[in-house]
């Protein structure tokens, strides 16, 4: 406990410097703004802002990007409650009862409970990172190449199992991502692979181009197809103070949503979406009168908002301790760390303790900032909701192009981003999630590196993956997950859940 207090003291001494406070505020503000504006999302925003962080020191850069992520998880509830449009995918469930409360003139209490639940869940998630981060990092030091390879296999299998859409499509997107990650010069032989004689591809496909194209350009093209009609409950926000009854009814759902979100946040896949939907389903089953749900039940706002924010916070645990991303946003964070010259993994805690504990402390600071931003500034967020998307998208495209060009000062990066933008658009039309592709793209080179290293150490003996206990255990779990998910009853239930959450 004494050691933990010392680490947190170091973290707060880093997080409370003027520079890091400023970048934390910028991240939280941008995240809330992006969460409020429908159709952009944190993944696209982080992808667009990655080039800005190139010239920043690592700690403020990562603090700002983390603030954007959990800020968007907060801000998405405002749009869901006032406009019935989820500003962020994890806020889809909040629309069901939050918008109905807004139509009944209770948007104020709905927004307040969403902020309180998010703050509680965020603080609990941050405490868990501080408590479980060090022991997990120590365990990770026992991992060899075989264990890391098996863990990445388990991560990709889990991402397939927990993917929001079709299993086959999720597998295909992961395979495409793995193949794209192989493009470039082979480290061992020095021979260019799959570059097709194009010199710009000899160093591999740029991470920023893939992320910005799939999530920036692709999202913009998709959003331009949607209508602009929005009914904003501007005159129905009312008092932000929830009643004692509202607080009492929300306490249980917030605690249960936090627990669910904590579990799903550590697992790979669409953890925030699944966490919020699971929380809503649980509260509906536990309710004495389930018919209230869908008609303005405050439990339907409190539970899902706590769940998605807890998942957003705890998804940093595998990233900071094992170096393994659990989703598209965490894959972007891996890219940001790599660009800064930091190898994600347990060595971050020992080699850069100021970065590790500074990020954790900044999450507490950021959660407090978000409560201040979300409640008093509701009227300002409402004004942003009135901005037509046709006014926003030219500036977003310009910003994406500048960001892509600035990576290597090369127009080839812009062309690549445009190509992946078209691919991302058609992928969304075919019902393929871009998240698994990005996860495969990030993990592909790491899997190849650890596979080769394990085979070299074992002198070409593939049994090394099953004779080492930890590696064998993870491969067994991955195999069991695949067997369970293809079982007819499980697959049928999963399809029902995916269909309901999509509705």
Rounded Cα distance between 490 and 38, Å, is 33
CA separation, residue 74 to residues 129, 370, 448, 471 (Å): 19, 7, 37, 37
Report which DSSP code applies to 345.
S
* Residue of 376 and 182 predicted with greater confidence: 182
Question: 130 and 360 in contact (C-beta within 8 Å)?
Answer: yes
Strand partners, 376: none
Question: 453 and 152 in contact (C-beta within 8 Å)?
Answer: no
CA separation, residue 235 to residues 78, 99, 104, 107, 382 (Å): 14, 14, 11, 10, 10
Lowest-confidence region among 74-88, 117-131, 273-287:
74-88
238 sits in the region (left: phi over 0; alpha: psi -120 to 50; else beta) called left
pLDDT beyond 80 at 459: yes
Tell which residue, 89, 34, 28, has the closest CA to residue 328: 89
Determine the Cα angle at 457 with ends 456 and 459, to 5°. Answer: 60
Identify the pLDDT of residue 80.
Answer: 74
At 137-192, the pLDDT tens digits run: 777 777 788 888 888 888 788 777 666 567 788 888 889 988 888 888 876 777 88
Question: 183 and 207 in contact (C-beta within 8 Å)?
Answer: no
Cβ neighbors of 443 (< 8 A, separation 6 or more) are: 152, 155, 156, 177, 178, 181, 324, 325
Which band of pLDDT confidence, cut at 50, 70 and 90, is reported for residue 499?
A: very low
Rounded Cα distance between 367 and 132, Å, is 20
**Number of domains observed in the structure of the chain:** 1
Rounded Cα distance between 421 and 425, Å, is 6
Question: 215 and 396 in contact (C-beta within 8 Å)?
Answer: no
pLDDT beyond 80 at 307: yes
What range defines the domain where residue 117 resides?
2-502
Rounded Cα distance between 36 and 76, Å, is 5
**Residue 391 burial (10 A CB sphere; 0-12, 13-18, 19+):** exposed
Report which DSSP code applies to 192.
E
**Residue 255 burial (10 A CB sphere; 0-12, 13-18, 19+):** middle
362-380 b/e with 16+ CB inside 10 Å = b?
A: bbbbbbebbbebbeeebee
Structure tokens at 38: 């429908």
Question: 468 and 205 in contact (C-beta within 8 Å)?
Answer: no
Tell which residue, 387, 350, 362, has the closest CA to residue 40: 387
Report percent pLDDT > 70 for the chain.
82
At 317-359, the pLDDT tens digits run: 877 777 777 777 777 788 788 877 787 777 787 788 888 888 8
Identify the pLDDT of residue 22.
Answer: 92
Identify the pLDDT of residue 89.
Answer: 61
Rounded Cα distance between 316 and 323, Å, is 9
* Residue of 211 and 89 predicted with greater confidence: 211
Rounded Cα distance between 27 and 72, Å, is 9
Quick one: how far is CA 7 from the chain centroid?
Answer: 26
Number of Cβ within a 10 Å radius of residue 18: 7
Mean of per-residue pLDDT scores for the chain: 78
Identify the pLDDT of residue 237.
Answer: 56
Question: 63 and 362 in contact (C-beta within 8 Å)?
Answer: yes
Cα dihedral 120, 123, 126, 132 sign: negative
Lowest-confidence region among 190-199, 234-243, 363-372, 381-390:
234-243
Quick one: how far is CA 450 from the chain centroid?
Answer: 25
Cβ neighbors of 409 (< 8 A, separation 6 or more) are: none
Which band of pLDDT confidence, cut at 50, 70 and 90, is reported for residue 271?
A: low
């Amino acid at each position: 406990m004494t050691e933990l207090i010392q680490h947190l003291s170091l973290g707060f001494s880093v997080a409370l410097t003027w520079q890091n406070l400023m970048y934390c505020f910028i991240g939280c503000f941008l995240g809330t703004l992006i969460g409020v504006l429908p159709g952009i999302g944190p993944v696209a925003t982080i992808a667009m802002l990655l080039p800005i962080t190139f010239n920043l020191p690592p700690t403020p850069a990562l603090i700002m990007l983390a603030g954007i992520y959990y800020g968007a998880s907060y801000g998405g509830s405002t749009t869901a409650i006032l406009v019935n449009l989820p500003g962020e995918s994890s806020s889809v469930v909040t629309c069901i009862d939050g918008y109905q409360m807004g139509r009944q003139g209770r948007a104020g209490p709905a927004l307040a409970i969403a902020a309180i639940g998010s703050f509680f869940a965020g603080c609990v998630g941050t405490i868990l990172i501080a408590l479980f981060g060090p022991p997990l990092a120590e365990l990770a030091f026992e991992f060899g190449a075989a264990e890391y390879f098996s863990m990445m296999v388990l991560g990709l299998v889990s991402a397939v199992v927990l993917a929001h859409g079709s299993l086959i499509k999720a597998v295909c997107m992961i395979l495409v991502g793995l193949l794209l990650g192989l493009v470039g010069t082979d480290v061992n032989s020095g021979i260019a692979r799959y570059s097709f004689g194009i010199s710009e591809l000899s160093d591999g496909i740029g991470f920023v181009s893939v992320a910005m194209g799939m999530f920036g350009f692709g999202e913009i093209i998709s959003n331009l197809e949607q209508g602009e009609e929005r009914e904003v409950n501007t005159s129905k926000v009312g008092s932000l103070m929830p009643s004692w009854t509202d607080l009492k009814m929300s306490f249980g759902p917030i605690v249960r949503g936090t627990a669910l979100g904590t579990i799903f946040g550590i697992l790979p896949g669409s953890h925030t979406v699944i966490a919020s939907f699971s929380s809503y389903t649980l509260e509906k089953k536990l309710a004495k009168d389930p018919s209230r749900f869908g008609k303005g039940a405050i439990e339907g706002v409190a539970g899902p908002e706590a769940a998605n924010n807890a998942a957003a916070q705890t998804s940093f645990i595998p990233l900071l301790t094992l170096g393994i991303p659990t989703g598209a946003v965490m894959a972007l964070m891996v890219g940001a760390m790599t660009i800064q010259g930091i190898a994600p993994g347990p060595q971050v805690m020992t080699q850069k303790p100021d970065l590790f504990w500074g990020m954790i402390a900044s999450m507490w600071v950021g959660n407090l900032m978000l409560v201040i931003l979300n409640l008093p500034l509701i009227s300002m967020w409402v004004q942003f909701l009135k901005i037509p998307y046709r006014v926003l998208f030219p500036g977003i495209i310009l910003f994406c192009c500048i960001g892509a060009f600035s990576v290597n000062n090369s127009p080839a990066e812009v062309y690549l981003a445009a190509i992946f933008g078209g691919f991302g658009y058609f992928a969304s039309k075919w019902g393929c999630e871009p998240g698994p592709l990005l996860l495969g793209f990030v993990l592909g080179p790491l899997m190849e590196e650890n596979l080769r290293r394990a085979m070299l150490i074992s002198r070409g003996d593939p049994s090394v993956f099953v004779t080492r206990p930890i590696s064998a255990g993870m491969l067994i779990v991955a195999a069991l997950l695949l067997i369970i998910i293809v079982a007819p009853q499980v697959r049928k239930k999963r399809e029902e859940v995916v269909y309901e959450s999509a509705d």
